[in-house]
Structure 1
Amino acid sequence: MVLVAVVAVAATTVASWRRPQLGAVEGRLRPCPDSPNCVSSFEDRPSHRTEPFEVHGDPKTAVSRLVRQIDAMPGTNVVEVTDDYAHIEFVTPVLRYVDDVELLHDGASEQIHVRSASRVGRSDLGANRRRVEIIRSQWKESLEAAAVD
């Protein structure tokens, strides 16, 4: 029984290492699946909806500033950064599952959209939503600190 559980966890972990198809499509991040392990600022469904990040200051450097902040968090791996898009992986400490966080700067609205999703499984017990809210809180603090300077 223990061996079956170990094999199942190992298989799930290995499956989470495969990168899903990500990126912007027609100016939007991809929709969340029906499973409750994803949040996105492009979603209308309340169970998957989160707010985008507000941009203050130089919009051309907003994504890179936010990525630097996120990169200081434990378990991160910055995969891709452009002027308006970023993909960051988060690896859980024990089971080594991988979650993907994407950022997309919307120059028209001066917002950075966000999507955070687990690669495997159905439920993440709210981990992606909590992660986005931690990032949001740190982002607001950094904006407030910059405004004081």
Structure 2
Amino acid sequence: MLEECPKSPNCVSSFSQNKSHYIKPIEIVGNVSETREKLIQILKNLHGEILQENKGYIKVAFYSKFFKFEDIAEFQIDSNKKIINVRSAAQTGWYDFGVNRKRIEKIRQELN
């Protein structure tokens, strides 16, 4: 299970009980392995740096263009439920201007 978001409004998670942090998991339509490979390609296309990867989990870092702020996104693939649970959070600062939520929604859109 992915870690809960901190109280700061710079994180989204499909496991969050807090409405302001909650984001729906990404549904897997079709083959799980193909979706996983497509997800990895999307993350790379978005200039994500893969930090950790195994069959059911991907951890990636994203850096802002100007100030090089780091966001860490995690993807937990649940083959049985055919969903990808997500958590994405800024590593510094209090507010992220919705960047993490927008990034996850862009990934969701590109996967489907």
| Shorter-chain TM-score above 0.5 | yes
Shift in Å, 1:71: 1.0
Q: Secondary structure at the match of 1:108?
A: coil
**Of Structure 1 and Structure 2, which has the larger fraction of its residues in helix?**
1
Structure-2 separation of matches of 1:58 and 1:125:
34
Task: Answer yes or no: is 1:65 the counterpart of 2:38.
Answer: yes
Q: How many residues align structurally?
A: 112
Higher relative strand content: 2
1:86 equivalent in structure 2: 58
| RMSD of Structure 2 on Structure 1 (CA) | 1.2
Q: Give 1:101's aligned residue.
A: 73
Could you say which residue in structure 1 is the equivalent of 2:83? 111
TM-score normalised by L of structure 2:
0.93
**What is the TM-score with the length of structure 1 in the denominator?**
0.71
1:46 aligns with 2:19: yes
Candidates 84, 100, 106, aligned match of 1:134: 106
Q: Which has the larger radius of gyration?
A: 1
- Structure with larger RCO (C-alpha < 8 A, sep 6+): 2
Structure 2 residue runs of 5 or longer lacking an equivalent are none
Separation of aligned partners in 2, 1:90 and 1:99 = 5
Moved over 4 A (4+): none
